[in-house]
Amino acid sequence: MIKVGIVGGTGYTGVELLRLLAQHPQVEVEAITSRSEAGVRVCDMYPNLRGHYDELAFSEPDPKRLGTCDAVFFATPHGVAHALAGELLERGTRVIDLSADFRLRDAEVWAEWYGQPHGAPELLEEAVYGLPEMHRERIRQARLIAVPGCYPTAVQLGLLPLLEAGLIDADHLIADCKSGVTGAGRGAKVPSLLAEASESMKAYGASGHRHLPEIRQGLADAANGPVGLTFVPHLTPMIRGIHATLYGRLTGEPGDLQALFERRFADEPFVDVMPAGSHPETRSVKGANVCRLAVHRPGNGDTVVVLSVIDNLVKGASGQAVQNLNLMFGFDEHAGLAAPALMP
Ligand SMILES: NC(=O)C1=CN([C@@H]2O[C@H](COP(=O)(O)OP(=O)(O)OC[C@H]3O[C@@H](n4cnc5c(N)ncnc54)[C@H](OP(=O)(O)O)[C@@H]3O)[C@@H](O)[C@H]2O)C=CC1
Ligand SMILES: CC(=O)N[C@@H](CCC(=O)OP(=O)(O)O)C(=O)O
């Protein structure tokens, strides 16, 4: 058994970590923090966890107590892990950060997109980008993991096979993405109100969203050179889910694209390449740590269309974080993540 801590336990990704870890045979949650709810029992705030965490209560973030854990998850807004990760690492605690604090390798690019100076540039070199389908062996050795963002997970998984094989024009990629409202977090915000978000859909961040540099960085690694990407996120009236529709211009005759995708992800426990002609639905991944993909070539023309769906709170955040923990501690990669999606 290992002991873990969670900083930022009242948010959607924090409570999703608790739900997944409740089924993990080798993990005990030692500490969970919230400044606003300190003293409140977790199961009083989240009754779905009654019977699983009856004694656990939120506490103030205390690096000494967190430093007694084998690993600490940060499910906090940007900047919080910058302040605490270094001290925890010095105490011998491994850090799995769900925020964007360590996702971009360049501190100046981070500062430009996040509107504040990078708070821990000295840790960037050792941080590993926690996309197991790209970096599994480095994750196994890592002390500090930057869990990818939700849109970046859906987009990178969908485009990796095509870029690695050099089959599409890397200068002109398009990612048209839709997210459910939990992507915006649990904090009260007008655009997340029922009357604002339901029965409506809108694009946002079309001229530049902070996930753009993160996605470009990952795709450039796959393409072995810079990429040009147009990324437009949309808010849709669902609670969980990301649907990414990805477009690439073929540079030549690509061969069997279905076989390419099946081969690329054959050994990946959490990527499901659907049969040719499929249209994956977000509800088919609700609550599950899975990315479902389908690849199309409309009219046998020069454009390839990839459809990629994930649950933003699971493969897009907390599930991926647990998958990283499993790799770091040599557990079965499925531990805590075996349940199928909810249906309907
Ligand atoms: N929602 C999603 O789909 C995804 C979210 N993420 C990322 O995961 C992180 C958490 O997201 P989400 O769960 O939605 O966020 P929420 O806004 O729902 O929750 C944030 C949590 O952080 C705590 N917190 C806030 N400020 C501080 C601070 N200064 N020090 C310590 N704790 C703090 C809050 O508790 P309190 O204020 O009481 O201490 C709360 O528990 C974010 O970085 C987000 O970008 C990543 C992928 C997907
Ligand atoms: C619907 C919605 O608002 N989604 C969030 C992204 C989700 C997320 O939390 O991403 P990070 O982990 O990078 O913060 C947004 O567009 O800002």
Q: Say if residues 331 and 26 touch (Cβ distance below 8 Å).
A: yes
Helix axis angle for 211-223 and 132-141, nearest 10°, is 90
Torsion, Cα of 48, 53, 56, 57 (10° steps): 10
Sign (positive or negative) of CA dihedral 17, 136, 334, 143:
negative
Gap from CA of 190 to ligand 1 centroid (Å): 17
What b/e string do you get for 192-212 counting C-beta neighbours within 10 Å, with b at 16 or more? beeeebeeeeeeeeeeebbbb
* Closest ligand 2 atom number to CA of residue 204: 16
* Closest ligand 1 atom number to CA of residue 37: 38
Torsion, Cα of 231, 236, 241, 246 (10° steps): -30
Q: Which residue has the tokens 């990704």?
A: 13
Q: Which residues pair with 32 in a beta bridge?
A: 6, 58
CB of 235 within 6 A of ligand 2: the answer is: yes
CB of 233 within 6 A of ligand 2: the answer is: yes
User: Residues 324-344: pLDDT tens digits?
Assistant: 999 999 999 999 999 999 999
d(CA 144, CA 328): 10
- Cα separations in angstroms, 122 against 87, 108, 109, 144: 13, 13, 15, 12
Gap from CA of 270 to ligand 1 centroid (Å): 25
Instruction: Retrieve residue 209's tokens.
Output: 């969203």
Gap from CA of 150 to ligand 2 centroid (Å): 7
pLDDT (average), residues 160-184: 98
CB of 182 within 6 A of ligand 2: the answer is: no
How do strand 303-310 and strand 291-296 relate by DSSP bridges? antiparallel
User: Residues 243-252: pLDDT tens digits?
Assistant: 999 999 999 9
* Closest ligand 2 atom number to CA of residue 98: 12
pLDDT (average), residues 83-106: 98
* Closest ligand 2 atom number to CA of residue 103: 13
Q: What mean pLDDT is reported for the chain?
A: 97
Pocket test for ligand 2, best of 76, 110, 179 (most atoms within 8 A of CB): 179
Gap from CA of 260 to ligand 2 centroid (Å): 30
Question: Is residue 188 very low, low, confident or very high in pLDDT (cuts 50, 70, 90)?
Answer: confident
CB of 152 within 6 A of ligand 2: the answer is: no
d(CA 160, CA 155): 9
* Closest ligand 1 atom number to CA of residue 7: 32
- Amino acid in the structure at residue 302: D
Instruction: Retrieve residue 242's tokens.
Output: 């990301």
d(CA 253, CA 113): 38
Q: What is the pLDDT of residue 258?
A: 98
- Does the structure's ipTM exceed the value 0.90? yes
Active site residue 150: yes
DSSP 288: S
Residue 105, pLDDT above cutoff 90: yes
Question: For the chain, how many helices (H) and strands (E)?
Answer: 11, 14
CB of 124 within 6 A of ligand 1: the answer is: no
Q: Which ligand is nearest to the CA of 180?
A: 2
User: Residues 191-243: pLDDT tens digits?
Assistant: 999 999 999 999 999 999 999 999 999 999 999 999 999 999 999 999 999 99
Prediction pTM value: 0.97
Gap from CA of 95 to ligand 2 centroid (Å): 21
CB of 242 within 6 A of ligand 1: the answer is: no
Catalytic annotation, pick one of 43, 150, 177, 291: 150
d(CA 34, CA 318): 17
CB of 35 within 6 A of ligand 1: the answer is: yes
DSSP 278: -
Gap from CA of 247 to ligand 2 centroid (Å): 22
